[in-house]
Structure 1
Amino acid sequence: MPKVVVLPGDGIGPEVVGAALEVLREVAPDLTLEEHLIGGAAFDAEGDPFPGSTRDALAGADAALLGTVGGAQDSAWNRLPRPQRPESGLLRLRQHLGVFANLRPVRVMPGLEHLSPLRPEIAAGVDLLIVRELLGGAYFDPRRERGEDAAFNTIGYTRAEIERVSGHALRAAQERRGGLTSVDKANVLEVSELWRETVTARAQQYPDVTLHHEYVDSVATLLVTRPERYDVLLTENLFGDILSDLAAVLPGSLGLMPSASLGAGAGLYEPIHGSAPDIAGQGVANPAGTILSVAMLLRYSLNRGAEADRVETAVQAALSAHPTRDLGGKADTTELTAAVLPAL
């Protein structure tokens, strides 16, 4: 029986994860679901944002479903030493699972173009996938230093790290429209020179994929002016963090956006919005991103494409009829979930 470890986390995490679990139980009642702590909630309970009990539970899991971690900028958690902060627990979770490729689909759903900040005729062309390297670069390089008057972080990548994530992106492009844009800053960064060289060599094994290279600043501009030009975007960790959040607003709200983080073992699935402490506990958070993350979990970790299609179709129908508050509507967390369930 497949096992999913559920990590509600902090802020609105428990609310949106609770909604997603209602959907998951409906379409996959045979799953074993185990709830465990992560982030600030884990630190408060066990003194560690990624405690041993959670690590042990993940050992036999097929997938993990995560809500969100962290609190307000002025929260007590942000005054802790960095290794004890909620976000450090998330980075350790990713390392523990070995999930090096983060997949973030960005699509404006038909009929919902008016929700995008783009003009409707431009929004209608948004259908892309961002593949972000997740375990390297500035966030994980050990050559970091903090002094009294200066601090240093380095962006380091090996050829092997670039090869493995580019393989994911090239296969994704094969399954979509056959286009891959690799994002770098090779005109000024040596690490980007290696990135471009390695991706180019790897792409030779995929003759049915058309590869382009673009600088990150150009991509940031074109994502909001000509998004229809992109099929799959491949990028390193820091650039990917920024670009994926930029692209995430194109469908109308961060609350719509799912993600999958994949490696050799269990996948990690989570919405890309933050913990939203200003609305936590009010029952108004949009659960669509978390529910769509469940669809990705079904597709990538459990090989249940039919069930994933059902979830995605139901979310689109529910949002069309019952837009949430972040989309200019009135539906709250419970109401949107109640609209999704009968549409499955």
Structure 2
Amino acid sequence: MKLAIFPGDGVGPEVTAQARRVLERIDLPGLTIFEGDVGAAAFRRQGHPLPAETIAMAQAADAVLFGAVGDPECDRLERSLRPEQAILGLRQELGLFANLRPASVFAGLEDLSALRPEIARSIDLLIVRELGGDVYFGAKGIDKRADGEREGWDRMAYSEHEVRRIAHVAFRAASGRNRRLTSVDKANVLETSQLWREVMIEVAGEYPDVALDHLYVDNAAMQLVRAPGQFDVIVTGNLFGDILSDQASACVGSIGLLPSAALGERQTAHGTFGLYEPIHGSAPDIAGTGKANPLAAILSAAMLVRHSFSRESEAARIERAVAGTLAAGLRGADLGGHDGTQAVGDAVLARL
């Protein structure tokens, strides 16, 4: 099993170090780990946020564990050289189009949610976000109009093929959960969303055991805070998924608890190739202080073990160790406590 780890910027190296300790502790025979540069760290050392050797390393691996990218000192660089291009570029180079973002409330952490505890404890959902299309990858620019004013524009587009393949991922995920799928769009305004909805309805015919409903994105955002327990699996486009998954983190209580997986169609000898990362950013304000919560990175490692290494029992062990750590009262700063990155990692390892 070949694993590439790209720690990146800010707190990325700190949290991925703890996830690596967990992966090395569990029983994964033949695991080989190698590390590469991404983001601002790669730009400073190699002149580009996503060097060719990093891409080659990812392509040779069975899975990628990603830390975080982003550095305020790089904000004035041209867009192609900014740290964030590393993750966008990797998704594109590796053909990763399906982002899985689970969100559920750990027992005892209900009071940390922005919602009332009795509402927060009902959250147990999965957001399936399309990663390869939408405005993030469409043509864009800033032009000067005839009247001299500047005008920014971004092209939002989805092909039928792109919608159909993410639909299958979402329906399969719902089939393995509670068999309810909510498709989120803006079909009353956007032609892109009209196509999205039509294709979702067509694909639904292949999954008679899954109940499909539709919500406009503004209503979905409202329902996510009003009655989040109604959701099982949510499937949506790149832009809407980016926003709703971050909103879900506030409902859960901390962005430091949420993992994610980015999957494509490539199969390896061990499972589905994927890139795994916590959904939080590089948090440069706390980098190097030892305060970062490593649990999202550790839970991302659990998803990696499940999907890319096909080791369900080991993945479940990691998740139980995280739940046990939280149940024992260990809390990082993001959870209102004082336990540092290393202490939290030690506690998870002790429970393994």
Count of equivalent residues: 339
Aligned to 1:330: 338
Give the TM-score normalised by the residue count of structure 2: 0.95
SS at match of 1:50: coil
Q: Would you say 1:310 and 2:317 are equivalent positions? A: yes
Are positions 1:57 and 2:57 aligned together?
yes
Q: Percent identity?
A: 52
What corresponds to 1:212 in structure 2? 213
Structure 1 residue aligned with 2:285, among 249, 269, 278? Answer: 278
Name the structure 2 match of 1:36.
36
What does residue 48 of structure 1 align with? 48
Once residues 179 and 337 of structure 1 are traced to their aligned partners in structure 2, the CA distance between those partners, rounded to angstroms, is 35
Computed over aligned residues only, the root mean square deviation of the Cα atoms, in angstroms, reads 0.9
In the TM superposition, residue 130 of structure 1 has moved relative to its aligned partner by 0.1
Q: Which residue of 2 aligns with 1:161?
A: 162
Q: What residue number does 2:133 align with?
A: 136
Structure 1 segments (4+ residues) deviating >6 Å: none
**Shift in Å, 1:110:** 2.1
Deviation at 1:58, TM superposition (A): 1.6
Post-superposition CA distance 1:236-295 (Å, at most 9, x none)? 000000010001122211000100000023200000001000000001100000000000
Looking at structure 1, the residues matched to 333 and 48 of structure 2 have their Cα atoms a distance apart, in angstroms, of: 34
Q: For 1:249, what is the secondary structure of its paired residue? A: helix
Q: Alpha-carbon deviation of 1:144?
A: 1.6
**1:119-130 alignment, distance < 5 Å:** 119-130=116-127
Q: Deviations over 1:102-151 (max 9, x none)?
A: 0000000123222212111101100000000001000001x322124011
Q: Secondary structure at the residue paired with 2:240?
A: helix
- Give the structure 1 partner of residue 182 of structure 2: 181
One-letter code aligned to 1:261: A
> What amino acid does structure 2 have at the position aligned with 1:38?
V
Residue 29 of structure 1: how far off its partner (Å): 4.6
SS state at 2:184 partner: strand
Aligned to 1:102: 99
Alignment of 1:165-314 (within 5 A): 165-265=166-266, 266-314=273-321
Whether 1:147 aligns to 2:143 is yes
Within 1, Cα distance between the matches of 2:251 and 2:302?
20
**Alpha-carbon distance in structure 1 between the residues aligned to 2:98 and 2:27:** 25
Partner-residue secondary structure (3-state), 1:183? strand
Give the secondary-structure state (helix, strand or coil) at the position aligned to 1:48: coil
Structure 2 gaps of 5+ residues are 145-149, 267-272
Consecutive unaligned residues of structure 1, counting only runs of 5 or more, are none
Alpha-carbon distance in structure 2 between the residues aligned to 1:95 and 1:269: 15
Task: Confirm or deny: 8 A CA contact 1:257 1:272 kept in the other structure.
Answer: yes
Q: Tell me the equivalent position of 1:19.
A: 18
Q: Secondary structure at 2:75's aligned position in 1?
A: helix
Residue equivalent to 1:339: 347
SS in structure 1 at match of 2:161: helix
Q: TM-score, normalised by structure 1?
A: 0.97
* Greater mean alpha carbon deviation, residues 297-306 or residues 316-325: 316-325
Q: Which amino acid aligns with 2:98?
A: A
Question: 2 CA distance for matches of 1:327 and 1:272?
Answer: 16
Instruction: Tell me, yes or no, if the aligned pair for 2:134 and 2:239 is still in contact at 8 Å.
Output: yes
SS at match of 2:220: helix
Which residue of structure 2 lines up, in the alignment, with residue 70 of structure 1? 70
Whole-angstrom distance in 1 between the partners of 2:228 and 2:257: 18
**Cα deviation digits, residues 28-86 of structure 1 (max 9, x gap):** 453110000011111111111110111111222110000000113xx2x1111100111
Is the 8 Å Cα contact of residues 319 and 336 (structure 1) preserved in structure 2? no
Which digits, 9 at most, give the CA deviation of each residue in 1:82-102, with x for residues without a partner?
001111121111101111000
CA contact (8 A) 1:259 1:271 kept: yes
Instruction: Give the secondary-structure state (helix, strand or coil) at the position aligned to 1:206.
Output: coil
SS of corresponding position for 1:277: coil
Q: Measure, in 2, the Cα distance between the counterparts of 1:95 and 1:327.
A: 34
Give distance in 2, aligned partners of 1:252 and 1:316. Answer: 15
